Amino acid sequence: MQDLKGLTVVSVEHAVAAPFASSKLADAGARVIKVERPEGDFARGYDSLVAGQSSYFVWLNGGKESIALDLKSEGDKAVLRRIVAKADILIQNLGPGVMQRLGFGADDLCAEFPALICCSISGYGSQGPRARQKAYDLLIQAESGLSGITGTPEGPARVGVSVVDITAGMTAYAAILEALIGRSVTGRGRHIEVSMYQAMAEWLNVPYLQHRYGGKTPARQGLMHPTIAPYGLFVCGDGQELLIAIQNDREWAALTQVFGMPDHAAADGFATNDDRVANRPAVDALVQSLLGRQSREETVALLDAARIAYGRLSNMQDVVEHPQSRFADVPLAGGPVALLASGATVTSGERKTYGPVPSLDQHGAAIRREFG
């Protein structure tokens, strides 16, 4: 589906958050002009593990056009202004206040070009005492409270992907689509501000509500759920690990039945979720004894028969070989590489395709000619 074909996006971007948002627009058919500093988006140098290129850059930049601009140069600033004048959407995630100082303040641009949709992504937004504080993914994981509930009782842990950047990029993408719908009605664009901190904090409403109004602060529990039991990781008889998730008392009764322990369905300390959470060591010990009787795949067969939810603990090679994994080729200079989860959305049976990953300033000369 090329639903956004005909739209032009200019993205003054680096790293992950803004490139994530603009990559989704490119995947949907928009023309995305990626503005890089003369030395390039620093994400190009994060690693060189994908045919000599950065895994982050390959993931987030397929289908874009690259132009390198020195925005300290009046000539290159004039090029950017001419591109913006013809663009539908401007995205930027430079440091706090940088675009304003360069003469590209979003409010001024929206006044000059009323149909333009501007999206600014920053660590903490433009207001408040920390508005000018630099921010990166792991730092916001810590500041937002995510690290406080992630990890084990022995200490906090980083979520294993750039979850804050991705969250901010997803939030920006959704807000841009809303703005496009609004513009189709009013003819006017708008300025969207996305704060990495606020985007991540929104995801933390459940532990926040439990803490503030329930007096129960979720503890770091590794792969166990803080407020549902049994819900976590157990070791089967062959040493393979399996997570199970019991969401309600009916499923608990089914679990005890399928493993031949029906008396535990309504026993003291086991009957309700509140009971089981309060009695978690005994509950987990019982479940471990049940799952430890047979191999993981034998256990899976029993759980399938009882319609009880489970998940194998997969490593990256397991994901490569997973029967539900889907891949699509992303063109690179040295040949295509397969991108994971290309089928995350399938619309009317049609899967997305991905454009080539640009080299630095690959389209610079052509863009300069096009925009005068």
138-186 pLDDT per residue, tens: 999 999 999 999 999 999 999 999 999 999 999 999 999 999 999 999 9
Distances (CA, A) of 138 to 122, 170, 196, 228, 357: 14, 17, 11, 27, 26
Adjacent-strand bridge partners of 31: 8
Q: What is the mean pLDDT of the chain?
A: 95
> 217-220: long-range contacts at Cβ-Cβ below 8 A with a sequence spacing of 24 or more?
218/149, 219/149, 219/153, 220/148, 220/149, 220/150, 220/151, 220/152, 220/153, 220/155, 220/156, 220/157
Give me the helix-helix angle, 296-305 and 249-258, nearest 10°. 120
Separation of alpha carbons 27 and 353, rounded Å: 7
Angle at 43 between CA 39 and CA 44, to 5 degrees: 60
Distance of CA 278 to the CA centre of its chain: 33
Q: Is 225 an active-site residue?
A: yes
Query: What is the sign of the dihedral through the CA atoms of 332, 335, 337 and 343?
Result: positive
| Contacts with 334 (C-beta within 8 Å, 6 or more apart), sequence order | 51, 52
**pLDDT band, very low/low/confident/very high, at 372 (cuts 50, 70, 90):** confident
- Which among 109, 87, 122 has a CA at the least distance from the CA of 194? 122
pLDDT at 349 over 70: no
- Which among 151, 143, 160, 162 has a CA at the least distance from the CA of 204? 143
**pLDDT, tens digit, for every residue of 195-235?**
999 999 999 999 999 999 999 999 999 999 989 999 999 99
Distance of CA 24 to the CA centre of its chain: 12
Give me the helix-helix angle, 17-27 and 163-186, nearest 10°. 50
Distances (CA, A) of 347 to 3, 32, 279, 327: 11, 22, 45, 16
List the catalytic residue out of 225, 264, 322, 363: 225
pLDDT at 117 over 60: yes
Adjacent-strand bridge partners of 309: 245
- Which among 170, 140, 177 has a CA at the least distance from the CA of 158? 140
Percentage of the chain exceeding pLDDT 90: 91
3-class SS of residue 49: coil
| Contacts with 29 (C-beta within 8 Å, 6 or more apart), sequence order | 1, 2, 3, 4, 5, 6, 7
N-to-C CA span, the chain = 31
Whole-prediction pTM: 0.93
**pLDDT, tens digit, for every residue of 153-165?**
999 999 999 999 9
pLDDT at 343 over 60: no
